[in-house]
Amino acid sequence: MSKWGSLCVIALLALATPALAQKKELPRQYGIGHAATPAQIAGWDIDVRPDGEGALPGQGSVKAGEKVYMDKCAACHGEFGESAGRWPQLAQGKGTLASADPVKTVGSYYPYLSSVFDYIRRAMPFGDAQSLSNDELYAVTAYVLNLNDIVDDNFVLSKQTWSSVKMPNEGGFYDDDRETTEKTFWNAKPCMEDCRGPVKITGHAAVLDVTPDEKTQKRNGVE
Amino acid sequence: MTEPTDRKRTSRRRFLAGVAGAAAAVAAKPALAEDAKNLPPNVADWTRALGDGVGTRPYGHPSKFENQVVRRTVPWLTATPESSVAFTPLHELDGIITPNGLCFERHHSGIAEIDPNDYRLMLHGLVDKPLIFTLEDLKRMPRANRIHFLECAANTGMEWRGAQLNGCQYTHGMVHCVQYTGVPLKVLLAQAGVKANAKWILAEGGDAAAMTRSVPLPKALDDCIVAYRMNGEMLRPEQGYPVRLVVPGWEGNLWVKWLRRIKVGDKPWYTREETAKYTDLMENGKARKFTFEMDAKSVITSPSPQAPLRQKGFTVISGLAWSGRGKIARVDVSLDGGRNWRAARIDGPAFDKACVRFYSELDWNGEPLLLQSRAMDDTGYVQPSKDALRKIRGVNSIYHNNGIQTWALKPSGELENVEVG
């Protein structure tokens, strides 16, 4: 092959390579970022799944949990999980989900043990997040389960007993079905004229009068 | 967000009725005060004297005469301001872009203040190479610019049982629309190499709530962005400085702020935020989960209860519309509570999963009107009436209330949030 010919081949190869890469649509490797070490990952990898993946070493009894709860939780959530003021209620509410006044608690609404355990682990106590020891975390979770009559007074929560906990509302959820149950909202030709009978006002926000007053708000346009 | 149970809401209503019974909801602004010495034929003060020099306002602020244009809270809504919401003043804005300082804020454990030098994003789980990125690393990566709305799933959530809050800032102010700059998430994931059995990602915040949500992998590989800029400048602390996840069209809770970790997995995690919260309780006591898309929605922002009409004659009805399923194709406006509709004019860009601005002209002779708007998107979805939504979902679902809003315009020019039947 002539020198000119081989140069052409090289040029074609050079053109062909990025074109092929584009076809597969794989973003290239930029060599940016560092390998995450197992120790670094262990410090941040705090999530726990329903199947117990991510559950920690350690254990905690309902009894030990009562002390943690009274020290660190009861001021907001109430001694029996009934809530103090506007803070979330943790217990009771069973049988209310289909009523006019649903009370969503760990016992009445949460589908999985991990949903409450993982949340306490990452976000509680409010204002002192990720401060509980593994044993305190297991214990206080066991106590909240006990407040909801999900485990008995002698229960000890650990990785080993994890799968024995069955949450009452596990079957209470289903996947988004709006595209079938709300299919009527897709309508290529919505009505434009005389679409309904006479219109009556049936409710007034001003009657409730819960809108914050202008005078109660800060009026500073700059932060 | 943290919603009151109805029992509590009822007692709070009673309390407020007693304490604040005499106070007007939101009074119309008084007539604008004029000073004749600045009006023709006189020469105004500012036409004679020198103003401030350059550099006296190194980061510019709005005019001091605009100091009513602020986010506002509803103090009774939550137990504590660290886990609460401050609403966008939609009634004071126009166009499609929300100024950074006015974007609604919703935090679960307050605003994390992160030193960018100490910022790290960890990417691990079902990947070939677990990686850690610095902020500088992210800024070196290829980037995308996208304009998207962000709406909290609980926007309009206080209105399920009837008209409650008198102003679109409160009824609809958990939405904003900005331009994000960042790295497409699929580019970042490709650096780590996603394993074949991966199906979901977990996004986790670095705040004291460590806010955590599961996102299906196809969405992560489609249009999600790991964003560090909004409207050109770095994210505001309230919006997740230095890095947040952008999940176009999907409920705001997924747009994890102060993003510190992305884990790749084969199942959703069912975190508290996607079980106890952000699930939609139906009338039969069962709840929809993973209701990600925000359905098409619109609201007239002016006139509205906080932006009354001051005179009869010609005026412009102005509003916002958005859809998490695509582009807004059309917006209609009704003056008679939904009996008759006319197409509004969309002015400005209509991007995918972004806000559009619509206008409709009004010659107002002082008669009472019932103003409504109705959005349609390019999937053919038409914003339903509130009653049509209630018929299917009941009134306990808190989230995803995209029903048509009615403002009653009174002969005085004042407007009120009302329900029609």
Domains of chain A by start residue, with CATH: 57-163 (1.10.760.10)
Q: Which residues of A touch B382 (CB under 8 A)?
A: 185-187, 190
Q: What is the DSSP string of B261-314?
A: EEEEESS----GGGTTSS-EE-TTS-EEE---BPPPEEEEEESBTTB---SSEE
Tell whether B316 is within 8 A of chain A (Cβ). no
B121-125 vs B259-265, strand pairing mode: parallel
Q: Using CB atoms, pick whichever of A46, A111, A201 lies closest to residue B420.
A: A201
Residue of A nearest to B28 (CA): A214
User: What tokens appear for B411 in the block?
Assistant: 């002969």
pLDDT exceeds cutoff 60 at A195: yes
What local confidence, expressed as pLDDT, does residue B25 receive? 36
CB-based contact A168:A107 (threshold 8 Å): yes
User: What tokens appear for B43 in the block?
Assistant: 């020469």
pLDDT exceeds cutoff 50 at B48: yes
Instruction: Give the pLDDT band (50/70/90) at residue B32.
Output: low
Instruction: Give the pLDDT band (50/70/90) at residue B366.
Output: very high
Q: Using CB atoms, pick whichever of B25, B27, B130 lies closest to residue A205.
A: B25
Rounded (10°) CA dihedral B217, B220, B223, B229 = 180
Helices (H), B141-192: 168-172, 185-192
What local confidence, expressed as pLDDT, does residue A172 receive? 98
CATH pick for B297-418 out of 3.40.50.720, 2.60.40.650, 3.40.50.1860, 2.60.120.10: 2.60.40.650
pLDDT exceeds cutoff 90 at B181: yes
What local confidence, expressed as pLDDT, does residue A28 receive? 87
Helix (H, G, I), strand (E, B), or coil: what is residue B190?
helix
The overall average pLDDT reported for chain B is 93
What local confidence, expressed as pLDDT, does residue A24 receive? 55
Select from B11, B139, B270, B398 the residue whose CB has the most chain A CBs within 10 Å, as the one to mutate to test that interface. Answer: B270
Rounded (10°) CA dihedral B328, B330, B332, B338 = -70
pLDDT exceeds cutoff 90 at A210: no
Q: Directed axis angle between helix A134-147 and helix A113-123, to 10°?
A: 130
Q: Using CB atoms, pick whichever of A32, A44, A195 lies closest to residue B261.
A: A44
What is the tens place of the pLDDT at every residue in A158-174? 999 999 999 999 999 99
pLDDT exceeds cutoff 70 at A8: no
Tell whether B281 is within 8 A of chain A (Cβ). yes
Q: First and final CA of chain B: distance in angstroms?
A: 29
Instruction: Give the pLDDT band (50/70/90) at residue A7.
Output: very low
What local confidence, expressed as pLDDT, does residue B1 receive? 38
The answer to whether the Cβ–Cβ distance between B68 and A130 falls below 8 Å is no
Q: How far apart are CA B114 and CA B243, in angstroms?
A: 10
Residue of B nearest to A179 (CA): B381
Residue of A nearest to B205 (CA): A122
Residues of chain B with CATH 3.90.420.10: 116-283
Helix (H, G, I), strand (E, B), or coil: what is residue A122?
helix
What is the tens place of the pLDDT at every residue in B140-153? 999 999 999 999 99
Q: Which residues of B touch A100 (CB under 8 A)?
A: 6, 396
Share of chain A above pLDDT 90, in %: 78
What is the tens place of the pLDDT at every residue in B79-116? 999 999 999 999 999 999 999 999 999 999 999 999 99
Q: What is the DSSP string of B319-385?
A: EEEE-TTS-EEEEEEESBSSSS-EEPEE-S---TTS-EEEEEEEEE-S--EEEEEEEEETT-BBPPP
Residues with Cβ within 8 Å of residue B243, at least 6 apart in sequence: B119, B121, B135, B138, B182, B226, B227, B228, B235, B258, B259
CB-based contact B322:B354 (threshold 8 Å): yes
Q: How far apart are CA B18 and CA B403, in angstroms?
A: 31
pLDDT exceeds cutoff 70 at A177: yes
CA atoms within 13 A on the CB side of B52: 6
CB-based contact B252:B106 (threshold 8 Å): yes
The answer to whether the Cβ–Cβ distance between B289 and A208 falls below 8 Å is no
Q: What CATH architecture is B116-283?
A: Alpha-Beta Complex (3.90)
The answer to whether the Cβ–Cβ distance between B132 and A26 falls below 8 Å is no
Q: Which amino acid is at A55?
A: A
Rounded to an integer, the average pLDDT of B44-73 is 96
ipTM: 0.90
Residues of chain B with CATH 2.60.40.650: 297-418
pLDDT exceeds cutoff 50 at B27: no
Local structure of residue A223 (DSSP, 8 states) = -
